[in-house]
Amino acid sequence: MKTMIKTYPNGLRLVVTPMADFKSVAFSMLVMVGSGDETKAEEGLSHFCEHMLFKGTTKRTGQQVIDEFANLGVHYNAWTSESATCYHTKAVAGNIEDCIDLFSDMYFNLKFEKNDFDKEGDVIVQEIAMHEDQPISVMYDRMNTLFYKGTKYEHPVAGYAQAIKSYQPKDIYNYVKKHYIAPNTILAFSGDITVERAEALVAKYYLPFFSSEKAEPKQRQNIPAIQPVATTLQVKKDTEQQHVILSIPVCNQYSDDRYALTLFALLFGGDMSSRLFISVREKLGLVYSISSDLELSDIGGRFGVVFSCTPKNTQKVIEVVNQEINKILQDGITEEELKRYRNQWHMQRLFDSEVTTRINNRIVEQMAARNQVIDMETELKVIDALTVADINAVVKKYLSNEKIITVIVGK
């Protein structure tokens, strides 16, 4: 699986992964603007723009955009994060040009009625309210705000309801004009498409409408990872369980330590054979599920443990998690664990390589972060080279009970 990367003089980037044996084509149109690029007066605008791009163009009404996607029978959607906004689709080869026509029209010819703007603002306010009603969403949102306090990633991606209600159509148009430009844009194809075909589609639907002025692609900076201090936040919610996330600051997404940390997250709480699952659920029956997660950004990263349980069990679970961390720090991981979870990593990468949308997601994320694609074979070689000593050294470098940031949502 060979990936081609092309950077045009105006800074636009094209990434193509031809896969002749596939029947589908995945396409991603990623714009390198997210909530972390917003000023105080713009909070939530990246996500608002994502919604409004589907609400009409100078050629199509919002309903026509939706109907044309539906008539094509394709999968399509969009998402916004702290660092990017991405519009994506999956289609058969014969329909991909029609999809590109739609996405290009949405990108370059945004036009919507004031009534649609007002209604979509109300929809986003409802989305924010919906998340506030979901304790696990609240848990992650509060952890993100607490962990990134004082940084560009502190506020929620969707923004705040009061700000959303205050925006006017001109704010969307100005924001798109400012950020939806060639140096911020990455176009990616994976699946049943050739490099030549992808280049032809870009030449027809994108290049004529971008500025031809020479520019360097936008790149995020590798800066030292933030190290927030240990603290605890409890959010009162009328729930049967308490929903808990424990986070420890680690490296940013550019560090080579990310491979060892990802492998460690798998063996510590990645599945039913992991240490946390066995000690907390199987041996003690304190939870239904417990897992570990690893979230890395350009300015920091956190290793986390997530679980839900009845309030009377919360402190006991936290104690057991601390015991497992101490056990790892004292005794390290075993060769058997390394072998098992290295094999899991291999299998997951193999499974991902059979889904064009996952291939594209991985590619655009790497391009946005590093302006390059690290192929799967190279990553697997790095993983295969990791030793027990390597994993233990990285664990000791970052893990500490004294650095835990805790968020508890519930009674």
Question: How much is the average pLDDT of 266-270?
Answer: 93
Q: Answer yes or no: is pLDDT of 222 > 90.
A: no
Length of the chain counted residue by residue: 411
Q: Give the chain's domains with CATH numbers.
A: 4-209 (3.30.830.10), 231-410 (3.30.830.10)
Is residue 136 left, alpha or beta, with left meaning phi > 0 and alpha meaning psi from -120 to 50?
alpha
**pLDDT band with cut points at 50, 70 and 90 for residue 411:** confident
Q: Pick the residue with more confidence: 1 or 150?
A: 150
What confidence tens digit (pLDDT) does each residue in 144-203 have? 999 999 999 999 999 999 999 999 999 999 999 999 999 999 999 999 999 999 999 999
| 267 closest CA partner among 303, 300, 234 | 303
Mean pLDDT of all residues belonging to the chain: 95
Percent of the chain with pLDDT over 70: 100
Instruction: Give dist(CA 253, CA 366) in Å, integer.
Output: 10
Mean pLDDT of 98-119: 97
Confidence (pTM): 0.93
Please tell me the predicted confidence (pLDDT) of residue 349: 87
Does the pLDDT value for residue 1 go beyond 80?
A: no
DSSP-assigned letters across all residues of 348-381? HHHHHTT-HHHHHHHHHHHHHHHSS---HHHHHH
Beta sheet of 13-18, edge-to-edge order:
4-7, 13-18, 185-191, 24-31, 85-92, 75-80
351-365 pLDDT tens trace: 988 899 999 999 999
Mean pLDDT of 136-148: 96
Neighbours of 313 (CB within 10 A): 19
pLDDT greater at residue 20 or residue 306: 306
Whether residue 30 is predicted with pLDDT greater than 90 in this model: the reply is yes
Phi/psi for 379 (5° steps) reads -60, -40
Cα gap 376→340, rounded to integer Å: 19
Give residue-wise pLDDT tens across range 308-348: 999 999 999 999 999 999 999 999 999 999 999 999 998 98
Q: Is residue 211 within 8 Å of residue 181, measured between CB atoms? A: yes
d(CA 157, CA 47) in angstroms, rounded, equals: 7
Q: What is the pLDDT of residue 13?
A: 98
Q: Are 223 and 56 in contact (CB under 8 A)?
A: no
